Amino acid sequence: MTDTSKLIVGRTGSWEMVLGLEIHAQVASKAKLFSGAAVGFGAGPNEQVSLVDAAMPGMLPVINRFCVEQAVKTGLGLKAQINLRSSFDRKNYFYPDLPQGYQISQFKDPVVGEGEVIVEHDDGSTFTVRIERLHLEQDAGKSLHDQDPNATYVDLNRAGTALMEIVSKPDMRSSAEAAAYVKKVRTILVYLGTCDGDMEKGNLRADVNVSVCRPGAYEKFRETGDFSHLGTRCEIKNVNSYRYIQQAIEYEARRQIEIIEDGGKVVQETRLFDPSKIETRSMRSKEEAHDYRYFPDPDLLPLVLDPAWVKRIEDSLPELPDAKKARLQSQYGLSAYDAGVLITEQARADFFEEAAKGRDAKLTSNWVTNELAARLTGSGQDIEDSPLKPADIAELVALIEEGVISSKIAKDVFDRMWAGEGGARAIVEKQGLQQVSDTGALEKIIEDLIAANPGQAAAVVEKPQAVGWFVGQVMKATGGKANPGTVNQLLKAKLGLE
Ligand code: ADP
Ligand code: MG
């Protein structure tokens, strides 16, 4: 069945998009993949370059065991096949920021094979993206064109840094799905600690492959595995934010549809996304594509992993997002949606679990994911640095649970807590924000109101729904502190309803 929400309407009928992503994730390692040079952000140009990275004659690469371990960990986190034997190849191309003249990568035999990622839609429902492979490779250096009007400078600090390239199958069908997939992969990597996931620094970025086809064609591809059912794809290089990923895809799919509807053919090529114009433009076409002349790197032996070592890594994995989500649902009775929001960051889930001890879990989750999350975003802080601690939220939730304050007053209390006025209980006491459940006081207010508004009282007897007006007046008279349940009960009794 065709999911109509995925259809794009063109002049000649409906279209669908097909998306496959290659995510480049920088390994969270202090040293490079084949040299001992440091990896770090913010060093001066060429301060982190060893003779190996600079490709001095006679230098030999030595594989960094830690980086291999991170790749294996990541593979396990992606529920993927770990290949006990893999190898490194040379991918040859000439570029000023690549002093070796080739990049060491894994072409034929990657360290990680097929896996899968379960991804959350915005509404909490899920879909699966199949992983094709994960391989290790070196990053290149950086050409600096803006230092001198007449010259290009080269900074090799990044040259040789370890990257994990995670290649998906073409399983995403909308720009929102592509962004959600990158988010989920990022979350898994950050949980594993194998990549810091910092997209602004380019430590996680994606090449986005886009094609369009008519409804039904994708299903045929899935049945047969035959790519000829799909349209010709274009690859948009190095997109490093969720918003850019979505914008690039939307633009690119439209561009391809227009070409085909005008009677033309999409040319397979590499394109760049220009965020200032929100469009993609050609970088190089397939005709001028590099002939990489891959061949096994003779300087490196095949990478052979000890199954016991892999098993030890597997046994040491932390609780991963999907497992945590399932546990939060079963242990605390949270919805898939709430649990899904909490697990997007490990620290947020930890914060919740700490605050929810002995408290109403749903209520606690709401305060953590709504009010607190919004405030932290507003002040640009991570939950790790939250000025309000789990115990503070727990205290607030306790007051609501005990009926001392209403949820509405709780928002006011929260604002004061955020402003540093102290703990929830102290604020409630100091400001006299306790809910008025004292029947005597409320009875008096209600009697006065009925006496002063005989017309309204008569109307309510005719039409009981109109009681809301009186509830509103009581709230007003008590500054929002009346217990709504008590007010309703008393009103019904005094007005002779039911
Ligand atoms: P290359 O090495 O040339 O980039 P791959 O076969 O490794 O080619 O594919 C790269 C990415 O392109 C993968 O993520 C794959 O899922 C995706 N892809 C392949 N064909 C299509 C297509 N027709 N539409 C969208 N994505 C595609
Ligand atoms: Mg590619």
Instruction: For ligand 1, atom 13, name the residue with the nearest CA.
Output: 20
Instruction: For ligand 1, atom 15, name the residue with the nearest CA.
Output: 20
pLDDT category at 287 given cuts 50, 70, 90 is low
* Distance from residue 165's CA to the centre of ligand 2 (Å): 10
Measure the CA–CA gap between 176 and 480, rounded to whole angstroms. 41
Closest CA to 217 of 374, 21, 16: 16
Q: For residue 209, which atom of ligand 1 is closest to its CA?
A: 26
Measure the CA–CA gap between 243 and 263, rounded to whole angstroms. 31
Q: Average pLDDT in the 61-90 region?
A: 98
| pLDDT for the residue 228 | 97
Name the percent of the chain lying above pLDDT 70.
98
Closest CA to 449 of 485, 477, 425, 429: 477
Top mutation candidate among 21, 211, 233 for ligand 1, by most atoms within 8 Å of CB: 233
Per-residue model confidence as pLDDT tens digits over 81-135: 999 999 999 999 988 999 999 999 999 999 999 999 999 998 888 999 999 999 9
Instruction: For ligand 1, atom 14, name the residue with the nearest CA.
Output: 20
Q: For residue 22, which atom of ligand 1 is closest to its CA?
A: 14
Ligand nearest to the CA of 253: 1
Q: Average pLDDT in the 352-375 region?
A: 96
Per-residue model confidence as pLDDT tens digits over 199-214: 999 999 999 999 999 9
Per-residue model confidence as pLDDT tens digits over 421-447: 999 999 999 988 887 767 788 888 999
Residues paired with residue 235 on neighbouring β-strands, in sequence order: 209, 270
Pairing, β 162-168 against β 126-138? antiparallel
- CATH 1.10.10 in the chain is located at 439-494
Name the percent of the chain lying above pLDDT 90.
80
Ligand nearest to the CA of 166: 1
* Distance from residue 193's CA to the centre of ligand 1 (Å): 27
| pLDDT for the residue 385 | 94
What kind of architecture, by CATH, is found in domain 439-494?
Orthogonal Bundle (1.10)
Measure the CA–CA gap between 473 and 493, rounded to whole angstroms. 17
* Residue 188 in this model has a pLDDT that exceeds 70: yes
| pLDDT for the residue 483 | 81
* Residue 288 in this model has a pLDDT that exceeds 80: no
Instruction: For ligand 1, atom 3, name the residue with the nearest CA.
Output: 235
Measure the CA–CA gap between 83 and 136, rounded to whole angstroms. 12
| pLDDT for the residue 490 | 87
* Residue 474 in this model has a pLDDT that exceeds 50: yes
Q: For residue 169, which atom of ligand 1 is closest to its CA?
A: 16
The identity of residue 38, as a single letter, is: A
* Distance from residue 24's CA to the centre of ligand 1 (Å): 14
Ligand nearest to the CA of 268: 1
| pLDDT for the residue 289 | 60
Measure the CA–CA gap between 159 and 97, rounded to whole angstroms. 8
| pLDDT for the residue 19 | 98
Give the chain's mean pLDDT.
93
Top mutation candidate among 15, 19, 22, 166 for ligand 1, by most atoms within 8 Å of CB: 22
| pLDDT for the residue 48 | 96
CA dihedral 355→418→433→426, nearest 10 degrees, is 70
Token representation of residue 193: 């600690």
Pocket-forming residues, ligand 1, beta carbon under 6 Å: 18-22, 167-170, 209, 211, 227, 230-231, 233
Per-residue model confidence as pLDDT tens digits over 163-181: 999 999 999 999 999 999 9
Residues paired with residue 234 on neighbouring β-strands, in sequence order: 210
Measure the CA–CA gap between 16 and 217, rounded to whole angstroms. 9
The answer to whether 269 and 234 are in contact (CB under 8 A) is yes
| pLDDT for the residue 227 | 97
| pLDDT for the residue 87 | 98
* Residue 2 in this model has a pLDDT that exceeds 80: no
Token representation of residue 343: 């697990």
Ligand nearest to the CA of 168: 1
* Residue 353 in this model has a pLDDT that exceeds 80: yes
| pLDDT for the residue 88 | 98
* Distance from residue 22's CA to the centre of ligand 1 (Å): 8
pLDDT category at 1 given cuts 50, 70, 90 is very low
* Residue 320 in this model has a pLDDT that exceeds 70: yes
Instruction: For ligand 1, atom 5, name the residue with the nearest CA.
Output: 167
| pLDDT for the residue 285 | 66
Q: Which residues contact 440 (CB under 8 A, 6 or more apart)?
A: none
Helices (H) and strands (E) in the chain, counts: 17, 16
pLDDT, greater one: 9 or 494: 9
* Residue 494 in this model has a pLDDT that exceeds 90: no
- 66-69 long-range contacts (CB < 8 A, ≥24 apart) are 66/29, 66/31, 67/27, 67/29, 67/33, 67/136, 67/162, 68/111, 68/136, 68/303, 68/305, 69/313
Q: For residue 227, which atom of ligand 1 is closest to its CA?
A: 23
